Structure 1
Amino acid sequence: MLATIGLSAVAMTTIVGLRYLLASGAFAWATKYKRPGLYRGLSSQIKREIGWSLFSAAIYGIPAGIIAWGWQQYGWTRIYEDWAAYPLWYLPLSVLLYLFAHDTWFYWTHRWMHIPRWFRLAHAVHHASRPPTAWAAMSFHPIEALTGAIVIPFLVLLIPIHVSMLGLVLTIMTVMGITNHMGWEIFPRWLVHSHLGHWLITASHHQRHHERYQCNYGLYFRFWDHLCGTDRGLSEP
C-alpha cells in the first residue's frame, strides 16, 4: 500500500512540475514575443524562480497524490464522474464554489504572510522576484507552498465536483497564477477597466501588490480586498 501511495505522489509531483514548466514556459515565450526585452537581465532571478517552483511542485504533488490514490481505491472524495449525478446547473456552480473558497483561503493566508515575522520567514521568497515574471507563479518557500497545497485536496473531501470541472478549476488556477505575475496585462483593456474587471484580478491588479506589498491580496476575485479595504486599484502599464 505504501508503495502504491508513493507512486501516486511521485506521479502527481511529476504532473504538477510538468504543468508548471509547460504553462509558465508558454507564457514566458509569449512575453518574449509580445514584450521583447521585458525580462532582460533577469536570468538569475528566473533560475531561482524555477528552482523554488519545482520544489513547490513536490509539496503540491504529495497531498494531491495521496488524495488521488484514496479517491481511486476507497472513494474518499466527493469527486464524481457520472454527469447525471447532479443537475447540470451545478457544474458551473461547483467551479464558482471552489474558486471562491480557494480565493478566501488565499486572501487570509496571504495577509497573514505579510505579518513581518512570517514575511521574513517565508513570503520574502516570493517577493524576491522584482519584478515577477511568468516563472514566479509557484516560487514559494515550503511553508507558503504548504498553505496552498492543502486547499484543493481539502475541498474535494467536502464539496462535490465533476472530474471535468475539477480539471477546469486547476486550469484556471494555473493560468491566473501565471498571468497575474507576467509583468504585463494579457487581458484586453475593455475587460480590465469594466464593471466585471472591478471584481476580477488580473496582472494589473496583482502587480500593484508587488509594488506596494500591503494591498491587493486576492487570487481570483477582488471581493475580499473591496470588503476589507485593501484594494488599491491597478498598477500603471
Structure 2
Amino acid sequence: MQQHSFWFYIVTFFAIILVRYLAMAGFAHWLLYHRQPATISVLKDIQLSVLSTGVFALATAVIMTLDDKGMTKLHGRMDAENWWVLPLSYLAVLVLQDAYFYATHRLFHHPRLFAWFHQGHHRSRQPTPWTSFAFDPLEAVVQALFLIGVVMLIPLHFITLLAVLTTMTVWAVVNHLGLEVLPLHFPHHWLGRWLIGPAHHSIHHRRYGKHFGLYFTFWDRVFGSEDPAYADALQPAAVVRPGA
C-alpha cells in the first residue's frame, strides 16, 4: 500500500468521514424528518459531529502512519482457505467494541464526568439522525482510542476494519432515528430483544440511567441497566413527542 504523509491522512480521512456522516444522516433526515424544521439542537449536533470527525480523522491518521511503519496488525492478505477469518474477526471486534462502549458510556454518565464527556450528546431528549455522530470531543477521543488499540492487538484485514467502521456509522444513524417517525410495532420484532435499535436507544435519551449498549442488549441485561418496562415504554402514551 502506498505511503502518505500524516497530514495527507488527516485531511483525506476528515473529508471521507464528514461526507459519510452528512450523506447518511442527511438521507435519513430527508427520508423521515424532512417536514420538520431544523432546530438549535440539530445545529449543535452537527457542530459536535464536525469536531468528532476531526478526532476520528486524527485517530485514523495515527493508525495509517503506524501501519506504514509496520506497527499494526492490519494486513491485506486474502487466503481462500481461511475466508472464515474475515466474518469471525468482524464479529469479534463488534463484540469487543460493544463491551468497551458499554463500560465507557456508563462511566461517562457519572455526575463528575457527564458534563465533560457526554452532556453535548444529550442536548435533545428526542434524538435525530444528526445526533448519531455528536460526541463530545473527550468522548470521541476515548472511542477513537479503541480503534487504535484494536489494530495494534488483533490481526485484521483492511476489509474487516472498513466493515467495522461502516457498521459503526450505519448503526449509530439507525439508533438515533427516534420513535416519533417509526411504527411503534417496529421495535417489537424479536431481534429487538437482542440487537439495539432506535426504540432501545431512544429510551436512553429519555432515561439516562438505562440502555448504555451500542450493538447488543447483552450488557444491559447482565448489569441490570435494561429498562424492565422496555416494551411498555414504547406504547403511544409513553412516547415523548418533540416540545412535550
The 8 Å contact of residues 179 and 186 in structure 1, kept in 2 or not, is answered as: no
Q: How big is each residue's C-alpha offset from its partner over 1:101-148, in whole Å with a ceiling of 9 and x where there is no partner?
A: 111111011111111111122311110023111001111221111111
Q: Which residue of 2 aligns with 1:156?
A: 151
Instruction: State the partner residue of 1:140.
Output: 135
Report if the CA contact (8 A) 1:218-1:224 is conserved: yes
Change (3 A) 1:127 1:191: closer
Instruction: Give aligned-pair identity as a percent.
Output: 35
Pair 1:54-2:50 in alignment = yes
After superposition, the CA RMSD in angstroms is: 2.2
TM-score w.r.t. the length of structure 1 is 0.88
1:28/1:78 CA distance change after superposition, 3 Å? same
Q: CA deviation at 1:30?
A: 1.6
CA distances 1:34-53 after superposition (whole Å, capped 9, x unpaired): xx64xx35422111111110
- Kept in 2: contact 1:192–1:202 (CA 8 A): no
Q: Which runs of 5+ in 2 are unaligned?
A: 236-244
1:125/1:86 CA distance change after superposition, 3 Å: farther
- Name the structure 2 match of 1:68: 64
For 1:10, give the aligned amino acid: V
Work out the CA distance in 1 between the residues paired with 2:41 and 2:104. 25
Query: Out of 171, 190, 193, which is 1:176 matched to?
Result: 171
- 1:188 is displaced (CA, Å) by 9.9
Measured in 1, the distance between the counterparts of 2:62 and 2:7 equals 8
Which SS does the other structure have where 1:135 is aligned? helix
Find the aligned partners of 2:166 and 2:222 in 1 and give their Cα distance.
Answer: 27
- 1:153 and 1:69 mapped to 2: Cα distance? 11
Which amino acid is 2:121 matched to? H
Alpha-carbon distance, 1:69 to partner: 2.3
Long gaps (5+) in structure 1: none
Give the Cα separation in 2 of the matches to 1:187 and 1:8. 42
Structure 1 contact 60–150 (Cα < 8 Å) conserved: no
Matched residue, 2:234: 236
> 2:77 aligns to what?
82
- How is 1:221-232 mapped onto 2 (pairs within 5 angstroms)? 221-232=216-227
Partner of 1:119: 114
Paired amino acid for 2:141: L
Cα distance in 1 between the residues matched to 2:186 and 2:138: 38
SS of residue paired to 1:216:
coil
Q: Note if contact 2:187-2:197 (Cα within 8 Å) is conserved in structure 1.
A: no
Contact 1:67 1:153 in 2 (8 A): yes
Distance in structure 2 (CA, Å) of the matches to 1:76 and 1:161: 13
Contact 2:187 2:198 in 1 (8 A): no
Matched residue count: 228
Q: Is 1:94 aligned to 2:89, yes or no?
A: yes
Residue 43 of structure 1 is matched in structure 2 by 39
Cα shift readout 1:50-107 (whole Å, capped 9, x = no counterpart): 1110011001110111211221x22222122121187111111101111011111110
Q: Deviations over 1:154-204 (max 9, x none)?
A: 11111112211221111110011111011137699577431x431110001
Secondary structure of the residue aligned to 1:50 is: helix
Measure, in 2, the Cα distance between the counterparts of 1:163 and 1:54: 25
Structure 1 counterpart of 2:214: 219
Query: In the alignment, residue 209 of structure 1 is paired with which amino acid?
Result: H
How many Å separate the matches in 2 of 1:201 and 1:187? Answer: 16
Take 2:81 and 2:60, find their aligned partners in 1: how far apart are those partners?
A: 24
Structure 1 CA distance for aligned equivalents of residues 186 and 52 of structure 2:
35
